[in-house]
Structure 1
Amino acid sequence: MAQIIENISHLDSQELLSLAADPERGAIFIDVREPEEYEAAHIPGIPLIPMGEIIDLIERLDRDREYVFVCRSGRRSLEVAIFFSANGFEKVHNYLGGMLQWQLEERKVAHGREHITEQFTLDQLERKITP
């Protein structure tokens, strides 16, 4: 069961993977780190929208969807989740421990710019995690 920290749901790795495997929920996963961090290692299938850019895109996102945010340790992604929650998004989660936790558990990572794009479109968020 997800932990609630600072009024935000925090998912562990198993909860994150379970949510990703549930097509009914249609959750969107977003890595909010900087491009160089993402290139070094990221969860396969999760697109990047850096924290500094996501604020400008919030009005283009569907408030009825469920969102999970990922960063290096879970702190920046928590700040993004808090921001989304304060702006009318009710179904937001933070990945507890971030990429540090993912790699500590020796889970699969991808490297490079596979889901970094120069121009944002909503369909880029429909990617799925590949465990």
Structure 2
Amino acid sequence: MHTENINGKTLEHWDVNDLEAALKAHSVVLIDVRTPQEYMFEHIHGALLAPMAGFDPDCMPPQGDRQIVLHCGSGMRSRKVAEAYLAAGHDRIAHLDGGFAAWKTAAKPYTSTDPATGALRRMGG
């Protein structure tokens, strides 16, 4: 992980190993900012959906003891949402560098929908 200072606030850039460890430790709230269609097709197990198109920083869960980590397909949308979150007056947020594409490339586990049956299936990891 590395951090970036944006107007005195902290944007954390996590890699897939950082996120995987935090998910196993139950120390994060993972929020997927992709579209509902993208999420339904495949997503990281346990991720909540808050699409970028309707993002409202005031509706985010409190950070408390669990860090919020945003992710999208490539890291572009999650960075934009993270910047909006910080601009809304919050002090710290994290996002997954490389997004879901990096997660899949690293063969980390995720949930996919079988197009033939509509059933959910575990992939990777």
Common fold, TM-score beyond 0.5? Answer: yes
| Contact 1:63 1:88 survives alignment (8 Å) | no
CA distance in 1, matches of 2:59, 2:79: 20
Equivalents in 2 of 1:21, 1:89: separation in Å? 26
Deviates more, 1:12-21 or 1:95-104: 12-21
Identify unmatched segments of 5+ residues in structure 2: 114-124
Structure 2 CA distance, aligned partners of 1:6 and 1:38? 30
TM-score under structure 2 length normalisation: 0.75
Instruction: Decide whether aligned partners of structure 1 residues 51 and 6 sit closer, same or farther in structure 2, where only a CA change above 3 A counts.
Output: farther
Q: Which has the higher contact order (CA 8 A, sep 6+)?
A: 1
Report the alpha carbon displacement of residue 12 of structure 1 after superposing the two structures with TM: 0.4
State the alpha-carbon separation in 2 of the partners of residues 39 and 11 from structure 1: 24
Aligned 8 A contact 1:32 1:50 in 2: yes
The answer to whether the aligner puts 1:18 opposite 2:18 as a matched pair is no
- State the shift of 1:63 in Å: 4.8
**CA RMSD between the two structures:** 2.0
Which one has the bigger strand percentage?
A: 2
Larger Rg: 2
Unaligned runs of 5+ in 1: 113-130
Q: Does the 8 Å contact 1:30/1:68 carry over to 2?
A: yes
- Secondary structure of the structure 1 residue equivalent to 2:43: coil
Structure with more of its chain in helix, by fraction:
1
